[in-house]
A and B are shown apart, each in its own frame.
Chain A
């Protein structure tokens, strides 16, 4: 029984790391722009599918990944300029509807390009699974966990140690004051979408070897990422990671110990419970000003 519990924990942590990465991108964009980007899941799907297609052309794996990340980052920036920037004075609800439209459009585009087929990537590293305490841990899980840790560390270092990061924080704290010292919130919004595109693509690429990639894989991942972000408080970077891991572990245990049919429904149940019991999330506070 303890082997099974450990196995479920490892599976949950791997799953949770994926949710954490998506939640991180959602929270970063929300913190900086005040916009809940519902197209974040499509960044993940298109990133994975682009990397798979590029790799299939014979480009070395690493180069295909970098290229896919750059292309999705550019796509994120272009979408911000084309759809978000012109509507920057609109209400939060309008902006969310715009991102929902973007999500549907991108999913349609992915369907046109990649069809309904499923795609996969080989694992990043060779070798068999690792046995820890009787539980099996896939090497790709280390890559996913590693990406989550590195992304979180880089984000903290950027916001806490760099001048540009402090300018971003300043714009989040007080938009008017930031403008009065010369910080342009529109530029920050643009780079937030570029960053969330890159992060989404990286997440998609890292999970491609363990999940089947399809044109519509982003939808459910975005919902899970959103639930993880809400658990963490929606504007708290550390909370997003914690929320993602918690959701992953709970999903894994519920699927393994109760029923696999509960897996997706559990996210919605958790979302409802968090919103009713602790609407500010476990670490965060809603209601910070948007840029």
Chain B
């Protein structure tokens, strides 16, 4: 549903993301792992419209996608090479980018859009510091999550709030309390709930476990797994590698702005480099050897 090609992102003179190419499949939970400064948050910020990329393309699957034969008539000729079958196909498109086997005509370029536009297109970010509206109550925070569709969906917003509350029952008891007075875990749940109120196609989560107790992290991860089952596509940036790999379908490891390892969660869980660098296996082995 999302394709990124040759993305470069800078913070001042520092390059945070370097020529990054990747894709996200519809309905999957993709974990993005890596140490501090690897460029994970910069990538999510760029997808949410907070950072403007210096170079590269971000393509999002269009709404109400039609079958390939209608959207890209040239595709049906079959005997022509991929680069010619559909004029919109990006030059230099690599096989792993095109593995969705969909005509690029069904994708729209969203590179450099504002955060407001990204939300309207179906991309919602839960930022690392939660960024809830502390002096508004829980209910108002959730209501404002549906801001971009408030006019069109006014009647169904109360039922959407009830639906979000079912995911986060702890918020229901506090719905009239100021968001700033909630515990860290509840604030994180509120931030996720507020993002869900936008009815995103793609939910971006930036380190949801940071600063939370292990039990709360487990609860948040279990909620993410439930969310995935509802069909929401999720990109999860996380330093808690073990927790992320437990819920993710697929994972990527970023180092210095590029992807260095990618594969299924199981593959990454058994990858020696991932084990040594991110799962603490080397430290355990060293401790055993001592």
Contacts and interface: CB of A to CB of B under 8 A. Distances in A.
Contacts of A170: 133, 136, 140, 144
Given A166-B136, A180-B115, A174 B147 contact: no
A163 B195 CA distance: 17
B50 A176 contact: yes
Contacts of B127: 176-177, 180
A182 interface: yes
A167 B132 contact: no
Interface in B120-173: 120, 124-125, 127, 131-136, 140, 143-145, 147-148, 150
Given A163-B143, A167-B147, A173-B136, A182 B116 contact: yes
A278 interface: no
A184 B147 CA distance: 10
B119 A180 contact: yes
Interface in A129-179: 163, 166-167, 169-170, 173-174, 176-179
B134 A173 contact: yes
Contacts of A163: 143, 150
A167 B134 CA distance: 13
B31 interface: no
Nearest to A185: B116
Interface residues of A, number: 16
A181 interface: yes
Contact of B131 (A174, A183, A184): A174
Contacts of B124: 180
A180 B198 CA distance: 10
Contacts, number: 67
A184 B133 contact: no
Interface residues of B, number: 28
B132 A177 contact: yes
B201 interface: no
Nearest to A184: B116
A53 to B, nearest CB: 39
A42 to B, nearest CB: 32
B116 A179 contact: yes
B50 A183 contact: no
Contacts of A184: 114, 116
B248 interface: no
B83 to A, nearest CB: 37
A181 B148 contact: yes
Given A166-B140, A177-B127, A182 B120 contact: yes
B61 interface: no
Given A180-B115, A181-B119, A182-B198, A173 B133 contact: yes
Contacts of A179: 49-50, 114-116
A176 B115 CA distance: 9
A167 B144 contact: yes
A85 to B, nearest CB: 14
Contacts of B131: 174, 176-177, 180
A210 B127 CA distance: 54
B11 to A, nearest CB: 15
B197 to A, nearest CB: 8
Contacts of B140: 166, 170
B161 to A, nearest CB: 13
A181 B147 contact: yes
Contacts of B48: 180
Given A167-B144, A170-B144, A182-B148, A177 B116 contact: no
B193 to A, nearest CB: 12
Interface in A177-202: 177-184
Nearest to B194: A181
A167 B195 CA distance: 15
B133 A183 contact: no
Contacts of A173: 133-136
A155 B280 CA distance: 56
Interface in A46-71: none
B239 to A, nearest CB: 21
Nearest to A182: B148
Interface in B159-193: none
B144 A166 contact: yes
Contacts of B125: 180
B135 to A, nearest CB: 6
Contacts of A177: 127, 131-133
B143 A183 contact: no
Given A178-B144, A180-B48, A184-B114, 10 more contacts: A163-B143, A163-B150, A166-B140, A166-B144, A169-B136, A170-B136, A173-B133, A174-B134, A177-B127, A180-B131
Interface of A: 163, 166-167, 169-170, 173-174, 176-184
10 contacts: A167-B144, A176-B115, A177-B127, A177-B131, A178-B133, A179-B49, A180-B115, A181-B148, A182-B120, A183-B144
Question: Top 7 closest A-B pairs, CB basis?
Answer: A182-B148, A177-B131, A182-B119, A179-B115, A182-B147, A173-B133, A181-B147
